[in-house]
């Protein structure tokens, strides 16, 4: 139990350190003309996306540690079946068995193919998560 808490603490520190490092890198790159500003803007977008990916992965790991503490690790959140050991070895933060994960991915892909009905749909989905 103490080891899990130590891992969680290390993850939080790592995330904060990585975030501060990315911010410092962005601040250090001053721009003097329109081209530099455009390049800086693109750099900011890429850095923010990298931070988001890192943040999501660390949140998934923290959730897996929580599931260990509650005894839910290795159980599918959708059907409550055991998640295969090979799957957990490959993706330790997996929350679904292969069957349920494939079903979820098909549903997600169907939403992507359908796409937003109006411009406002896309706008709302991007900013609903931030609220």
At 111, is the pLDDT very low, low, confident or very high (cuts 50, 70, 90)?
confident
**What backbone torsions phi and psi does residue 75 show, to the nearest 5 degrees?**
-110, 140
User: pLDDT at residue 103 above 90?
Assistant: yes
- In this predicted model, what pLDDT tens digit does every residue of 45-86 receive, in sequence order? 888 888 888 888 888 988 999 999 999 999 999 999 999 999
DSSP SS3 for 80: coil
pLDDT of residue 38: 79
Statement: the pTM of the whole predicted model exceeds 0.85? no
Q: Which two tokens stand for residue 31?
A: 């721009």
The answer to whether the CB of 53 falls within 8 A of the CB of 85 is no
At 130, is the pLDDT very low, low, confident or very high (cuts 50, 70, 90)?
very low
- State which residues form the domain around 13: 1-73
Residue with tokens 């292969």: 98
pLDDT of residue 78: 94
Same structural domain for residues 32 and 66? yes
Same structural domain for residues 38 and 92? no
Q: Cα separation of 65 and 69, whole Å?
A: 6
The answer to whether the CB of 1 falls within 8 A of the CB of 9 is no
Same structural domain for residues 64 and 80? no
Smallest CA-to-CA distance from 95 within 71, 67, 69, 70 is with 67
pLDDT of residue 29: 59
Residue with tokens 């850095």: 47
How many domains is the chain partitioned into structurally?
A: 2
Q: Cα separation of 13 and 75, whole Å?
A: 28
The residue ranking higher by pLDDT, 63 or 4, is 63
H helix runs in 29-129, sequence order: 34-70, 85-90, 98-114, 119-128
At 11, is the pLDDT very low, low, confident or very high (cuts 50, 70, 90)?
confident
Same structural domain for residues 89 and 48? no
């Amino acid at each position: 139990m103490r080891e899990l808490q130590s891992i969680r603490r290390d993850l939080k520190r790592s995330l904060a350190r990585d975030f501060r490092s990315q911010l410092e890198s962005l601040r250090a790159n001053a721009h003097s003309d329109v081209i530099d500003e455009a390049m800086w803007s693109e750099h900011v977008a890429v850095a923010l996306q990298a931070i988001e990916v890192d943040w999501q992965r660390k949140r998934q790991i923290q959730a897996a540690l929580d599931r260990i503490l509650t005894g839910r690790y290795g159980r599918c959140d959708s059907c409550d079946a055991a998640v295969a050991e090979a799957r957990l070895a490959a993706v330790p933060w997996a929350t679904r068995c292969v069957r349920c994960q494939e079903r979820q991915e098909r549903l997600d892909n169907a939403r992507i193919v359908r796409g937003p009905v109006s411009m406002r749909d896309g706008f709302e989905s991007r900013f609903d998560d931030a609220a």
